[in-house]
Amino acid sequence: MPHEGKQTRTTSMMIVIGSGGHTKEMLSLISFLGSQYTPRYYIMANTDQMSRDKVKEFESLKENKENNQHKIYRIPRSREVKQSWFTTIWTTIVAIIYAFPLVFYINPKIILCNGPGTCIPLCFAGLLLKIFTFGKTQMIYVESICRVETLSLSAKLLYYIVDHMFVQWPSLQQQYPRTKYIGRIV
């Protein structure tokens, strides 16, 4: 039992959820986090209903429900599946317009992502937040276990922006020296 007057420190997290395998990997990754990582802010594409349902189910099963503070926010996708690269410029601009005020409003201590295109505008907003708050926001990128030979496009775009980039194959760490390999994470 905690002493009277002693407060438990918490760390707010922005967790970027992508569709399909990205959701499964991220929920697997955060399933080991303790209750001190709260509140949790899940950010996902506004067209991704399945991931929203998975997050709600995941949160409803968490053991420590008294400290189960979470919220779900949705932003436009930077790029829809099979969307042309040319039109991606415009949809990414729209996603950035939504991402910046959201990141500044939430002001998370950690931004955690694992590769969906939705993370790009959020991490760029996180970089600006980090500049304005003198480095209080840590950005962590965990590359998908499916990426064996090269980094994903998202990882390549964020390579010099995030504070920590984890890969799940030693050959990737040798190819990209700024990454960290600590074994299979998910």
pLDDT of residue 64: 58
Q: Which tens digits make up the pLDDT trace of 83-119?
A: 788 888 888 899 999 999 999 999 999 999 998 889 9
Give the pLDDT band (50/70/90) at residue 42: very high
Which residues, at least 6 apart from 170, have a Cβ–Cβ distance to it below 8 Å?
181
What per-residue confidence (pLDDT) applies to 63? Answer: 63
Spatial contact of 97 and 80, defined as CB atoms under 8 Å apart? no
The domain 20-181 is classified under which CATH number: 3.50.70, 3.40.1710, 3.40.50, 1.25.40?
Answer: 3.40.50
* Stretch 36-65: mean pLDDT: 90
Give exposure, 78-100, as e/b (b: 16+ Cβ within 10 Å): bbeeeeeeeebeebbeebbebbb
Torsion sign across C-alpha atoms 26, 27, 28, 34: positive
Strand partners, 73: 43
135 pLDDT tier (thresholds 50, 70, 90): confident
* Whole-number pLDDT of residue 1: 42
Residue 31 scores a pLDDT above 80: yes
Judge contact between 156 and 149, C-beta under 8 A: no
Q: Is the pLDDT of residue 163 over 50?
A: yes
pLDDT score of 143 more than 90: yes
